[in-house]
Structure 1
Amino acid sequence: MIEFLAALAYDPVAFVYGAFPWGEGDLKGQEPQVWQLDLLADVRDGLKVPGQVIREAVASGHGIGKSALVAWLVLWAIATHEDTRGVVTANTDTQLKSKTWPELARWYERFIAKELFTYTATAIFSNEPGHERTWRVDAIPWNEHHSESFAGLHNQGKRILLVFDEASAIANVIWEVAEGALTDRDTEVVWCAFGNPTRTSGRFYDCFHRDRALWHTRQVDSRSVAISNKELIAEWARTRGEDSDFFKVRVRGVFPSASELQFISSALVEAAVQRVVHPHEFDFAPAVIGVDPAWTGEDSLEVFLRQGSMCRHLASYEKNDDDVYMAERIAYLEDKYHAVSVNIDQGYGTGIYSVGRNMGRAWHLVSFAGKPRDDYYANKRAEMWGDMKEWIKSVGALPDDEELRDDLTGPEAFVNGSGRLQLESKADMKKRGLASPNKADALALTFAFPVRASPRARGAAMCNTVYDPFA
């Protein structure tokens, strides 16, 4: 048996055919799917190149046999190479414990060499005396605050297996820490990421876009797999439509136009960037300024102007504690653009607001957690973003600013326990590895309160002093 397994160390395809009793018992009439064999062949071919890190990413619909493939990879990796180490994780502890790891148990029971290994609820390891800690694969829930389990995944000169299941929802920091395992010299490293393509951001999305040169990727349509539920898929096609984001994600294995939780889609933003407005279409409208003060040391204070269907980024300042200087700069911009309202985020803007009040400025301090006018929203921030989204969808023209694009499309939204729409917090975005959306929040602040043009602003427009805010 040991000689048989050793002969399959570099051929996971042959291993799958030889390690399980195909055609017998509950495997009667069953066989590996084409896409599964293709991925195993990629791993086999990658092992032929010394020192190459094998990276496989699969975006798929439901019911394609993904968990079975994960089980095969684990059993092949641990059974054919002495002192293999590995980690399997998933988007949630529930997914890992109730779906991913139990599937391994089913294939372990069918495995012809199961007597050589011990399976538990959290690990599979060798029965060879003295190798219980060095020859094992563990099921480890991820936690961005305690990533040591991934940081310590080194196995110099041997084999490492890393599997991410439902990878779209695994935090960026876990991906980054896991990459440390790739630095071991003369080590076989196999890293596989699987999942429904639910999000249009994050490291799983990057595998198919920004980092596609590093990953071998495939998108598996559930309709192309013999074992999928064709009746349910046909029902989804009728009720949801084959071009819907739901069908793209759950069946076609295609990234959606907007992630399932994404509040403002990339498509809406791109349409607004392409929208052209002329001065006579907005110069009569009141100008409003939004100020989002710096949140942490790496953030910046952002100032945005909105006037009717036009908006413009006015200024960006590094975080500092000189409230007097910042208040003077905002007052200057208020006068220059004849703004009828200046709205400042209360979070870090209280000092700036106080200085402005002492200067005789009637600025508004806005609490993101404050009560909204519309009970549909959980708080003031969600309401402002909701109004901004409608403006972008209908009349708003956005500047061609990549940072603003990312800010607008980054936050996710959900219905909270009270049945109200809530926007993802800046802190939660940072946990996902995304930057704080300071520019978008500054623009959203221009929607904090209804405004009307003051006589001063109307007179300025008539004499063309605000004719072109871009000047």
Structure 2
Amino acid sequence: MAKKRTLLHEDPRWEEFSDDFAGDLVGFAIDVVELPPTPQQITLYTSVAPSRSMVSVASGHGTGKTTALATIVLWHLLCYPQSITLLTANDMAQLKATLWKEIGMAVERIRQGPYGWIAEHIEILANGSMRILGFTDTWFVESKTANEKTANKMAGRHGEWLMIIGDEASTLPDAVVTTLRGALTEEHNRMLLTSQATRNVGFFFRTHHDLSKLNGGDWTPLVFSSLESPLVSEQALKELWDSYDADERRVRLMGMFPQESGKHMMNLPVATAMYQRGRIIGEDEPYGWVVLSDIASGEGLRDKSTIVVARVIGYGDRGPDARRVEVAAIPLVTNNVRSNVFAGAVAEQGAYYDSVIYAVDSGGLGINVCQDLEDLGKPLHRINWGNPCFQNKNKERYINLRAQAMHQAARAAKEGRLSILTGEHRNAMLSQSSRIPKTFTDRGRIRVPPKHSKEWEGMASPDLWDAVCFAFIEGLVYTASQEKGGDEHSLGDSFESQVEELFGDVV
């Protein structure tokens, strides 16, 4: 006859274990998980440990937040009898790829350490759940996507030892968080919210403002800056600081909420400066010509097809090889050209320039224009900026190519790397370029909201500025012009830099 398994609460070692660590989360991290905490993690552990704690963490990159969450989950599971821990997030796949991976690693560290016996009572399941063996329905950790249906189900669970953790909480729906908060009715219940501080509205934002203990509320607000984390090297910090704009630094590094002025990619003074700086590419530099075209998709009289002609040079987004662009001409902005003849107009504009490249929006009616240009034998870069970025660094930073191109164009304008040399359609250009909305996803990636959403504040499709932004889209390769002699060496240098830029971080 098989020997009956000893349940955790029957194990003579467990009562002493619980007495030692239930009130000592820092000690649990050091002695049980054997992962000495950073000062920021110690602050988190001591804030979470008391009963009825409600803690909200706004965090930058590299602060060890996910590792700390894994430790907290295991502490609550192992130290309290028949405890229930509920994990919720908008992106369950991301939760499984990050937090549950850390939980699995932490369990293995426990298994190899002085309290390895307790790991034998844990069962991790493939569906994003974990339980104490023998207590399938009463002693467990479970994960649910954040929506009203699952929130109501989760809120229906009650218990003396109940903890709710909301990850990437800045984008959790207010109704969901409010419902979950309302489930904490007993003496030893806890709630923990963690996120990058991506939005200036919502429940998570309020936990750091009117709902915080600093303002008489119930929430302990913690801010974890990457600049203060020993887990981020000085070199990595410098690289990130130099590559981010001011709002990205606040959100992704400093754990701070974006400034209200950051709701647009750039402001009117920056846009106006594009008309004031003159030439920024020397005639002796190996620049190339590009013809950029956005095709009207038939959204009405305010939706216009556009052709922009520009000089471009460089392949980076910062440093000496950062892309510079001069808009030399805007020969066409119209809603009165049929797409079936538009390719001829685009090709005609490129005929005046040496070694020209065409970059054309291939969405909607633009696909026909692209096909016609290819039939004419023109070197074409199709713009599909709803697609994700190709380079790893851009995938992590932008939700898609549209956000990447628009953000890099705005950054170039701020840094003096974008100049407009023609006064054609100046008012439209200033209006469009200074009003492009910018938001952040739950993972802190830059996002341009869908057209006609409330963030656009009634602005029509920015077709003219769209075309200019095409010059900054990832992967747009130009051919150095032969208008000036002696370019052979420059062409080689340009090719080397473009290969490094396009493929340097692809793994």
TM bucket normalised to smaller: 0.5 to 0.7
Which residue in the other structure is 2:303 paired with? Answer: 374
Provide the C-alpha distance between the structure 1 equivalents of 2:194 and 2:30, rounded to a whole number of angstroms.
Answer: 22
Among 229, 236, 244, the alignment partner of 1:232 is: 236
Describe the shift of the 1:414–1:14 C-alpha distance in structure 2 as closer, same or farther (beyond 3 A): closer
Among 12, 17, 21, the alignment partner of 2:25 is: 12
Answer yes or no: is the 8 Å Cα contact 1:182–1:189 preserved in 2: yes
SS in 2 for 1:109: helix
Deviation at 1:98, TM superposition (A): 0.9
1:126 equivalent to 2:138? Answer no
Q: Deviations over 1:4-56 (max 9, x none)?
A: 3211222212222221245xxxxxxxx21111111211233x33xxxxx2111
Deviation at 1:142, TM superposition (A): 1.7
Which residue in the other structure is 1:193 paired with? Answer: 193
Which residue in the other structure is 2:61 paired with? Answer: 62
Describe the shift of the 1:140–1:249 C-alpha distance in structure 2 as closer, same or farther (beyond 3 A): same
Describe the shift of the 1:114–1:423 C-alpha distance in structure 2 as closer, same or farther (beyond 3 A): farther
Answer yes or no: is the 8 Å Cα contact 2:439–2:448 preserved in 1: no
1:424 equivalent to 2:453? Answer yes
Provide the C-alpha distance between the structure 2 equivalents of 1:94 and 1:372, rounded to a whole number of angstroms.
Answer: 42
1:135 equivalent to 2:139? Answer yes
SS in 1 for 2:230: coil
Deviation at 1:177, TM superposition (A): 1.3
Deviation at 1:370, TM superposition (A): 4.7
SS in 1 for 2:154: helix
Answer yes or no: is the 8 Å Cα contact 2:26–2:37 preserved in 1: no
Deviation at 1:415, TM superposition (A): 4.8
Answer yes or no: is the 8 Å Cα contact 2:227–2:237 preserved in 1: yes
Answer yes or no: is the 8 Å Cα contact 2:54–2:218 preserved in 1: yes
Q: Which runs of 5+ in 1 are unaligned?
A: 23-30, 48-52, 269-368, 380-385, 395-407, 426-436, 449-471
Which residue in the other structure is 1:42 paired with? Answer: 47
1:117 equivalent to 2:122? Answer yes
Q: Deviations over 1:276-307 (max 9, x none)?
A: xxxxxxxxxxxxxxxxxxxxxxxxxxxxxxxx
RMSD value, Cα: 3.7
1:2 equivalent to 2:14? Answer yes
Which residue in the other structure is 1:149 paired with? Answer: 153
Q: Match for 1:166: what amino acid?
A: E
Deviation at 1:161, TM superposition (A): 1.1
Which residue in the other structure is 2:73 paired with? Answer: 74
The 5 Å alignment of 1:318-467 reads: 370-371=299-300, 373-375=302-304, 390=431, 415=448, 422-424=451-453, 444=458
Describe the shift of the 1:138–1:210 C-alpha distance in structure 2 as closer, same or farther (beyond 3 A): same
* Aligned-residue identity in percent: 24
Deviation at 1:125, TM superposition (A): 0.8
Describe the shift of the 1:138–1:376 C-alpha distance in structure 2 as closer, same or farther (beyond 3 A): farther
Q: Deviations over 1:384-438 (max 9, x none)?
A: xx99x949x79xxxxxxxxxxxxx999999558xxxx52436xxxxxxxxxxx9x
Which residue in the other structure is 1:84 paired with? Answer: 83
Q: Structure 1 stretches (4+) deviating beyond 4 angstroms?
A: 262-265, 375-379, 408-416
SS in 2 for 1:245: helix
- Count of equivalent residues: 285
SS in 2 for 1:35: helix
Describe the shift of the 1:81–1:375 C-alpha distance in structure 2 as closer, same or farther (beyond 3 A): farther
Describe the shift of the 1:171–1:42 C-alpha distance in structure 2 as closer, same or farther (beyond 3 A): same
Answer yes or no: is the 8 Å Cα contact 1:71–1:103 preserved in 2: yes
Q: Deviations over 1:337-361 (max 9, x none)?
A: xxxxxxxxxxxxxxxxxxxxxxxxx
Q: Deviations over 1:55-113 (max 9, x none)?
A: 11111111111111111111111111111011112231222111111111110111232
Q: Which runs of 5+ in 2 are unaligned?
A: 1-12, 111-115, 269-297, 307-362, 365-426, 462-507
Answer yes or no: is the 8 Å Cα contact 2:144–2:150 preserved in 1: no
Q: Match for 1:219: what amino acid?
A: V
Deviation at 1:230, TM superposition (A): 3.2
Which residue in the other structure is 2:202 paired with? Answer: 202
SS in 1 for 2:53: strand
Q: Match for 2:219: what amino acid?
A: W
Answer yes or no: is the 8 Å Cα contact 1:142–1:174 preserved in 2: yes
Provide the C-alpha distance between the structure 2 equivalents of 1:110 and 1:138, rounded to a whole number of angstroms.
Answer: 21
Q: Match for 2:125: what amino acid?
A: T
Provide the C-alpha distance between the structure 1 equivalents of 2:97 and 2:304, rounded to a whole number of angstroms.
Answer: 38
Provide the C-alpha distance between the structure 2 equivalents of 1:263 and 1:227, rounded to a whole number of angstroms.
Answer: 32
Q: Match for 1:218: what amino acid?
A: L
Q: Match for 1:215: what amino acid?
A: W
Describe the shift of the 1:141–1:154 C-alpha distance in structure 2 as closer, same or farther (beyond 3 A): same
1:171 equivalent to 2:173? Answer yes
Which residue in the other structure is 1:26 paired with? Answer: none
Q: Match for 2:138: what amino acid?
A: T
Q: Deviations over 1:218-272 (max 9, x none)?
A: 111112111124323201222335xx00111111111111498x5699x99xxxx
Which residue in the other structure is 2:183 paired with? Answer: 181
Q: Match for 1:66: what amino acid?
A: K
Provide the C-alpha distance between the structure 2 equivalents of 1:202 and 1:422, rounded to a whole number of angstroms.
Answer: 22
Which residue in the other structure is 1:273 paired with? Answer: none
Provide the C-alpha distance between the structure 2 equivalents of 1:56 and 1:32, rounded to a whole number of angstroms.
Answer: 18
SS in 2 for 1:183: coil
- Using the size of structure 2 for normalisation, the TM-score is 0.50
- Using the size of structure 1 for normalisation, the TM-score is 0.53
Which residue in the other structure is 2:395 paired with? Answer: none
